[in-house]
Copies of this chain bind each other. A is one copy, B any other.
């Protein structure tokens, strides 16, 4: 069952959409990657190698963000009542703007 306004457990294979379980798994992997970066810093590893790992995490977070945007667009926006769609689309666009400017 899809929670109202929540993250959608989609079973389709379309694009970025991930199930809630897949999203949590991806976020856990990212958390582990950050832990690895911490250890690299603690071990005085070469800064360029640390930076390469940070780029990888940024790319993984972008993928999670695009998946969430995609869910929001397909489910929260298209699934909204007629009166709410404009507002939900504005929210979507604000989120895109924040992601493009990064914070």
**A 49-83 binary contact with B (CB < 8 Å = 1; else 0):** 01110111111111011101111111011100000
Q: A41, B61: Cβ atoms under 8 Å?
A: no
> What 0/1 pattern do residues 11 to 50 of A give for CB contact below 8 A with B?
0001110001001100110110011011001101111101
B37, A34: Cβ atoms closer than 8 Å: no
A57 / chain B contacts, CB cutoff of 8 Å: 61
A6 vs chain B, min Cβ distance (A): 3
Copies in the complex: 4
- Interface of chain A, helix or strand or loop or mixed? helix
With the chains together, A24 CA to B41 CA distance in Å? 7
Chain A residues within CB distance 8 Å of chain B = 3, 5-7, 14-16, 20, 23-24, 27-28, 30-31, 34-35, 37-38, 41-42, 44-48, 50-52, 54-62, 64-66, 68-74, 76-78, 85-86, 89-103
